[in-house]
Structure 1
Amino acid sequence: MNHSDPSSRRGFLKAGAAVGAALCASPVAGNAVAAPQQPEASVGITAMDLPVIARTRTLGTGRYAMEVSALGFGVMGMSYNRGPHPDRKALIALLRQAAERGVTLFDTAQVYGPLVNEELAGEALYPYRDRVSVTTKFGHRIVGGKYLEGQLDSSPENIRRVADESLRRLRVEAIDLFYQHRLDPAVPIEDVAGTVGELIRAGKVKRFGLCEVGAQTIRRAHAVQPLTAVQSEYHLMWREPEKEVLPVLAELGIGFVPYSPLNRGFLGGAINEHTRFDSGNDNRAMLPRFTPEAIRANLAVVEALNTFGRTRGATSAQLALAWLMAKQPWIVPIPGTTKLAHLDENLRVAELSLSQKEVRELESAVAKIRIVGDRYPAAQQRQVEGQ
């Protein structure tokens, strides 16, 4: 991998800073990049020499299998929980640039914003609607366009309503993959699965998924409506899914989509104890793992990644993603970004393969480090442990 500054993201950011405003190329046909055009809705940024992802992976099996690019894109941080971001035109251009370069899996949710993240994905990806898959989620209580913090609603009537509204915001005829965002203890998972199954038969949804659930919940849901994928946090600093979730997914033939694969940007190496998350739109300000003390202690993980990557021409972010992709062929990470330089960095992971020996060596180096801080405050942690 030929990067001028392989041990950090600075080289990519310098390259990105040199990029001017300009074009959004025309859609990819197969693996070939078509000649740049200027479609009516196109605004944006000049492409760097970005690689094209030609490799694909399959989430799920049988009738509900879903073939997607080996690396997806998490749209959330473009408008929710990640601080300041560029204007809407720049975000649209970046999403289209990802689609141009072969990314076919884009992830959003009703609660992101709320609502506006789906609208952004819908507008940006409308020209690519026949080439990409956009996944979204239901399950939080939103009234009058406002999220009622901590309140869940996976009642059948709400699932149906959210599906109809998400279809309009995403500008699609059917939702490619519809996840329950958090387990609702008031609604049996069998009722949730049955309702999504009805939406599938009605042609409004194509596939069913769950987020942050345990093995027994997965089994119960899958018995009613086969699951295509489960989405949970998973990265070198949080490996809990390996205990029960990944084994049951392997047994049942269900795919896995790790969100926050870079631990909310931390594993990219650009965050330190002096970083402030005070924009009013950054949930890291309330996460125990992002206090100055925790950051200072956990930077040892980034240092281990940089040491490992220095002789391999890879950044800490690239190694973190490559490690995930080496774990199983049915794992598809969904890193997000608002920067073209970081998109370039992420896409180049397709050029990097870790051997099983390297995977074990990397895991051994990180295992020697004590991770400081919980990933969520207690109230949010109860939602992901409620299965």
Structure 2
Amino acid sequence: MAPAANSLSERAIGSQGLKSSPQGLGAMGMSMAYINNADPVSEEQSIATIHRALELGVSHIDSSDFYGWGANEELLKKALGTNRKDYLIASKFAMVKTKDGMSVRGDKQHVREACEASLKRLGTSYIDLYYQHRVDRNVPIEETWTAMKELVKEGKVKYLGISEASAEEVRRAHAVHPITACQLEWSLWTRSAEKDLIPTCRELGIGIVAYSPLGRGFLTGTIKSLKDLHETDTRVSRMPRFQGDNLEKNIVLVEAVTALADKRGCTPGQLALAWVHAQGDDVFPIPGTKRVKYLEENVAAFHIKLSKQELAQLEAVFAEDKIHGGRYDPNMMKHTFEGTPS
């Protein structure tokens, strides 16, 4: 059953004055990464999903200049139309295309050029929440954040965020300009940020934006084998958890969640998303989808309240030693908070 219109109410994200729907919509998959040739989604369907999100109270839309190398921001421009002010638009910079694939830039020149390009593609005069997508460890983070601070002073950006930064990098950036939100991967099968990064965010009053709260679709229970993923899908090429024996072993974990979900009368994905919501009011998951059906399913998960026993059962299923494979390949991991040089 679909949730009623405007079923979510905004609340403060971080301590700098920005408000957000408690759940957002990750737009990455509308332009890149997850490919299903057997069930393609048109641009019109993606736009309809963005419009339906607002009807349900999901005003927080997450994008990046990396998603489709700008195509995702252009899609948002088409979708937003005259309703731009009704949405909290989050976008990011730092990843750049190179002849060898991808690199990261955090120098002052790139910060400004990337922001100007995003504003043009989005068709807006400001970005509500602008993230440093990945930390350039060849550039002092203070330089990057001084440039970002200038964008705020000029009104081109309202609030600042950071993604996949270490606890120390968060502190250094926050000292230059207050961070409103820290984006990090957090789900039942990705909990490494709980040790240092999340406590640091909470100490500093930084909102926590949980990306891939459904484990890149894995926790929905719809991925049964590699045959369910196209060979060019980034989960196959870059994410060890979806490869070989790792996938087979991890599927056993989802089967256990499916059994628990059946008892609650919900889907495995809803149960997994409800677990993320249960982590606190300072947590804002941004599950991604291209389809209205799954958007509505995800919004309904916000209203599922789990007991202490259910939370403990889920966490026991996904104990760290039961999860097989890293979340990214080594090349990508070096750009995460876990890949920070010691």
Equivalent residue, structure 2, for 1:301: 253
Aligned residues: 335
1:133-148 to structure 2, matched below 5 A, reads 133-142=88-97
- 2:68 is equivalent to residue 110 of structure 1: no
Equivalent residue, structure 2, for 1:42: none
Three-state SS of the structure 2 residue aligned to 1:222 is helix
For residue 132 of structure 1, the aligned residue among 73, 87, 92 is 87
The worse-fitting range, judged by mean Cα deviation, of 229-238 and 367-376 is 367-376
Equivalent residue, structure 2, for 1:27: none
1:353 Cα shift? 1.4
Three-state SS of the structure 2 residue aligned to 1:154 is coil
What TM-score results when the alignment is normalised by the length of structure 2? Answer: 0.93
Query: Aligned partners of 2:312 and 2:167: how far apart in 1?
Result: 25
1:1-387 to structure 2, matched below 5 A, reads 52-61=6-15, 64-84=16-36, 85-142=40-97, 149-278=101-230, 280=232, 282-286=233-237, 287-367=239-319, 370-384=322-336, 385-386=339-340
Contact 2:277 2:302 in 1 (8 A): no
In percent, how many aligned pairs have the same letter? 36
Q: Which amino acid aligns with 2:64?
A: A
1:116 Cα shift? 0.2
1:295 Cα shift? 1.6
1:49 Cα shift? 6.2
The worse-fitting range, judged by mean Cα deviation, of 207-216 and 363-372 is 363-372
1:276 Cα shift? 4.4
Query: Aligned partners of 1:208 and 1:272: how far apart in 2?
Result: 39
Per-residue CA shift, 1:316-350, capped at 9, x if unaligned? 10111111111111100001112222112101012
1:356 Cα shift? 3.6
Three-state SS of the structure 1 residue aligned to 2:12 is strand
Three-state SS of the structure 1 residue aligned to 2:20 is strand
Query: Aligned partners of 2:268 and 2:5: how far apart in 1?
Result: 19
1:279–1:362 Cα change, 3 Å: closer
Query: Aligned partners of 1:172 and 1:330: how far apart in 2?
Result: 28
| RMSD across aligned positions (CA) | 1.8
1:150 Cα shift? 2.9
Q: Which amino acid aligns with 2:72?
A: N
1:203 Cα shift? 0.4
* Gaps in structure 2 of 5+ consecutive residues: none
Three-state SS of the structure 2 residue aligned to 1:98 is helix
Q: Which amino acid aligns with 2:62?
A: D
1:252–1:356 Cα change, 3 Å: farther
What TM-score results when the alignment is normalised by the length of structure 1? Answer: 0.82
Three-state SS of the structure 2 residue aligned to 1:311 is helix
Per-residue CA shift, 1:57-108, capped at 9, x if unaligned? 32110xx232111110000001110114412122111111111211110001
CA radius of gyration, larger in: 1
The worse-fitting range, judged by mean Cα deviation, of 243-252 and 123-132 is 123-132
Q: Which amino acid aligns with 2:195?
A: K
Three-state SS of the structure 2 residue aligned to 1:383 is coil
The list of structure 1 runs, each at least 4 consecutive aligned residues, that deviate by more than 6 angstroms after superposition, is: none
Query: Aligned partners of 1:212 and 1:311: how far apart in 2?
Result: 35
Three-state SS of the structure 1 residue aligned to 2:335 is helix
Q: Which amino acid aligns with 2:129?
A: L
Query: Aligned partners of 1:51 and 1:316: how far apart in 2?
Result: 23
Query: Aligned partners of 2:82 and 2:60: how far apart in 1?
Result: 15
1:49–1:242 Cα change, 3 Å: closer
Query: Aligned partners of 1:140 and 1:91: how far apart in 2?
Result: 24
1:55 Cα shift? 2.8
Contact 1:273 1:291 in 2 (8 A): no
Equivalent residue, structure 2, for 1:32: none
Query: Aligned partners of 1:50 and 1:292: how far apart in 2?
Result: 41
Contact 2:93 2:111 in 1 (8 A): yes
Q: Hey, which of these two has a bigger chunk of helix by percent?
A: 2
Contact 1:300 1:369 in 2 (8 A): no
1:51 Cα shift? 5.0
